[in-house]
A and B are shown apart, each in its own frame.
With several copies, the nearest count.
Chain A
Amino acid sequence: MAEKTYLQAISDGLRQEMRRDKRVFVIGEDVGVYGGAFKVTLGFQEEFGPWRVIDAPLSETAIVGGCTGAAIMGLRPVAEMQFSDFISCGWDQLVTVAAKQRWRAGTPVPMTVRLPSGGGFSGGPFHSQNPESSFAHIPGLKIVCPATPEDAKGLLVTAIEDPNPVLYFEHKHLYRRIKAEVPDDRYTTPFGQARIHREGDDVSVITWGAMVWTAAEAAQQLEDDGISVEIVDLRTLVPWDKKAVLESVSKTSKVLVLHEDTHTGGFGGEIAATIAEEVFEDLDAPVKRLTAPDTPVPFSPPLEKAFIPQVDDVASALRELAEY
């Protein structure tokens, strides 16, 4: 057990898995000599050689499609997108080939795509997006969004082990900001089991990724006013832990669904709709959503601050609910 950043947890988890399982290899732009844009694979090529840590050409389609083929041939590819934004260039391969191959043709595609995502440091419209909602709509893809170093490692190992295409969204704004104890040994964190980041009685927040920490700060604020907030960290969007969400909502009878991605058609809608359908009778207030507005992600700090839900935004949404 040692304190590690979220980034180190990812890196260590991946290295450990590569040492354990020769079928695991890494491919992506600049993952080799350079160690990846965020240095997750720093030193990997030296340890595992150039055919297990592969510098790909600037070709997201070939990377995703290549991993699909290699996975079907029995390897366990881990692709790195330099930024999650660029997965748009691999969209067709993922949704057309990888996602549907098991159901259609019985061929499992055990591959993982690592996607550094999210904003908070003026990355602008193309280096800050949270594209998880788009993919969560496609049957056949699993979607992982860890919030803590411990989950970052455990969910990555589960992703690599999973016999399906898994999109692993690692939030860049957590990379070096969030540190915690991470077990040294190999372990897996199951998909589809939410984590109660904080227990509470008055209002539930359903969220994932970096927003877990924003919600936690807001909950802290509200505690001083005597409002007790429960935070449910989904950890994975596909599958998502409906049971945990509905239980929390039934307990508090008020809920805020929170995400960093834009509003319309975001995955928050799915969660809110499910709550409204399944525990309608338990609700004492409308199902509220707090998200980014329907715009691209802005570059300039004051705009970006207005775009990404801030602690104060969450706190006032929670207060409003509590007072309903």
Chain B
Amino acid sequence: MAIAREAEPVGSLQEVKEAGLDREDLLGVYRNMLITRGIEERGHILYKQGKIPGSFYTGRGNEAAAVGVATAMDDQDVGTPLHRDMGVHISRGVEPWRIFAQYMGRADGPTHGRDGNVHMADSRLGLLAMVSHLPAMLPVAVGCALAFRIREEKRVAVGWFGEGASARGDCHEAMNLAGVRKLPVVFVCDNNQWAYSTPTYLEYATEHVADRAEAYGFEGVVVDGTDVLAVYRESRRAIEKARGGDGPTLIECLTLRMEGHAVHDDAFYVPKDMFERWASSDPIERFRTWLREHAELGDAEEDEITSGVKKLLNEALTRAEESPLPDPSSLAEGVFATPEDLDTPHHK
């Protein structure tokens, strides 16, 4: 029995305007999705060139979900995006060259080569760097919301988690505390139907992950994660609801992980037709079509956006490759913070 609400797809430009996005915004969303995918595609190439140490993870298929949610956040809101959520970093304004530098373990990456992949965040943009342990950032996101509640600020925290990670205790404790205290937090489940090689029915026994929200006293919504506008609309609703003091929402974005778990994984265990089915609902292509049909996106404008993104990424890549490797003598610095470190927008 499904308990959660199933969200409708978004139709007209008018509807989108009512939800708070004008045409300029929509093109920005499209651009962010392109950048997101472009970064990860170039990451693949870098990896094959041997320039990325360790492993390499992407969020192909999840661009709409990530960008859609991030677009619905206000500047002062904060979030804890995960390894499929590059689009969140991009939407919040992280410079692509820093991300390439991060991938390659360079000194100018957000973690200065200390961590890899999307294990990074710019706290000045309201993002907290993920840890590998899933979903350990959910209690942390709830803690941010708790701070907002204590200070009576009208800010919202957004915590991401995968459908696989929903099985862990951290997910439960975080949602329960948030529900009990009606904290201003929105939980976003990136349900890409696989946890590494594990299918959803071995991770949870409900129809939807969002069906769990009831168990914590708040609403659950399932949304098509390839429909960026629907994701945006539902996120905006949930965020404003949280901001208004009406507590958490669990939004489940349904997608398919369009690649292996990481670069080494060929995803042999995913049925071929599943990939085919979801490929026909590619989030970027889908939004592009919508923009052409509903927002008069023409060839020229599209070319401009596409080539702008290409240029941005090419320059970013060059700049990142110029970034030096970190100095080994710096290794032991900064295990402990100094009082000056507290001099950031959030800590003040």
Contacts and interface: CB of A to CB of B under 8 A. Distances in A.
Contacts of B332: 293-295
A65 B140 contact: yes
A103 interface: yes
A69 B115 contact: no
Given A30-B196, A56-B177, A74-B346, A105 B336 contact: no
A284 to B, nearest CB: 31
B342 A163 contact: yes
A216 B168 CA distance: 42
B341 A302 contact: no
Interface string A47-81: 00001101111111110111111111111010000
Contact of B121 (A65, A70, A105, A109): A105
Given A67-B143, A73-B78, A303-B114, A59 B331 contact: no
Contacts of B115: 104-105, 124-125, 298-299
A295 B106 CA distance: 18
A69 B147 contact: yes
B142 interface: yes
A105 B121 CA distance: 7
Nearest to B165: A58
Contact of A142 (B143, B269, B336): B336
A163 B177 contact: no
Contacts of A25: 150
B26 to A, nearest CB: 31
A164 interface: yes
A92 B133 contact: yes
Contacts of B170: 61, 65, 92-93
Interface stretch (A94-102, A225-233, A272-280): A94-102
Interface stretch (A13-21, A83-91, A201-209, A243-251): A83-91
A73 to B, nearest CB: 4
A108 interface: yes
Contacts, number: 277
A100 to B, nearest CB: 7
Nearest to A89: B133
Contact of A301 (B78, B134, B325): B325
Contacts of B338: 163
B239 interface: no
Contact of B334 (A71, A73, A85, A102): A102
B305 interface: no
A300 B176 contact: no
Given A72-B123, A108-B337, A103 B114 contact: yes
B114 A296 contact: yes
Interface string B281-310: 000000000000000000000000000000
Contact of A106 (B131, B137, B328, B341): B341
Given A93-B139, A124-B115, 6 more contacts: A69-B139, A69-B140, A72-B144, A108-B342, A110-B342, A295-B335
Interface of A: 25, 29-30, 32-34, 37, 51-52, 54-62, 64-75, 77, 82-83, 85-86, 88-89, 92-93, 96-97, 100-110, 121-127, 139-140, 142, 163-164, 293-296, 298-303, 305-307
6 contacts: A57-B167, A61-B174, A62-B176, A106-B123, A163-B337, A300-B106
